[in-house]
Amino acid sequence: MNTLRSHTAPQATNGVRPLRVALVNDFELVLRGIEGMLEPHSDRIEVVELDVRGNPTSRIDVALFDTYGQPQGVRDRVRALVDDPLVGAVAVYAWRLAPAQVEAAVAAGARGVLDKTMRASDLADALVAVAAGETVVSPEFCKPAGAHWPGQVFGLTVRESEVASLLLQGLSNREIADSLSISEHTVKTHLKGIFHKTGVSSRGQAAARIADEGDFRRRAGS
């Protein structure tokens, strides 16, 4: 095992410390690439370890496990990280996974199954959500035949669709958080994703944009 310490400096925003994240893979080159990708988001994500062929050696909030070079044994690797008392949560990071592999990773305890095509900011958002206790599976990995939810035309996840529906009903961030049993911070994270995907910059604009989408109109009974 080779554990490499990151040089990312922790920064606090509004008194909230960044998430402590460990990057896990068998290749240092892969981990250095992810570290560089997350560096602009060091106000929220502190990469504290690059773990090559091993588990974290310090307490961390999320272990981001890159599956590159490990087409077999993903479930066992996830389970080893989930069972590690130093690891708060585990997220899998992959280019493509078959539905059975996604199910196996979640069954093994992964809270996140994240697609490598996502932007760095979206990856940071997903890690924050995973640390907050949510299960986050990229839509590319969770489109079973016949499955549909309002907002898919915009690329909204199931949870973002739920938040969007409540936003359309005029609920405040606190009311949305209470309705979905999530934190207000997590609601803000989802709203940020909704704004980006619908191409708007405010709650009012988002509500107007969402209201134009047929599935949301039908859901609202209009």
* CATH superfamily for domain 2-141: Response regulator (3.40.50.2300)
Q: What is the DSSP letter of 13?
A: B
d(CA 37, CA 31): 10
152-220, CATH topology level: Arc Repressor Mutant, subunit A (1.10.10)
How do 19-25 and 112-115 pair as beta strands? unpaired
Cβ distance 55 to 84 under 8 Å?
yes
Amino acid of residue 134: E
CA distance 28 to 2: 9
What pLDDT score does 221 carry?
Answer: 44
What residues does each domain of the chain span?
Answer: 2-141, 152-220
How many C-beta neighbours within 10 Å does residue 111 have?
24
Kindly indicate the confidence band of residue 100, based on its pLDDT and cuts at 50, 70 and 90: confident
pLDDT at 124: 94
pLDDT in tens, 195-204: 999 999 999 9
- The per-residue pLDDT for range 124-170, each reduced to its tens digit, is 999 999 999 999 998 877 655 455 677 877 888 878 888 888 898 88
pTM: 0.64
Q: Do domains 2-141 and 152-220 have the same CATH topology?
A: no
Maximal CA-CA distance, the chain: 59
Q: Are 122 and 112 in contact (CB under 8 A)?
A: no
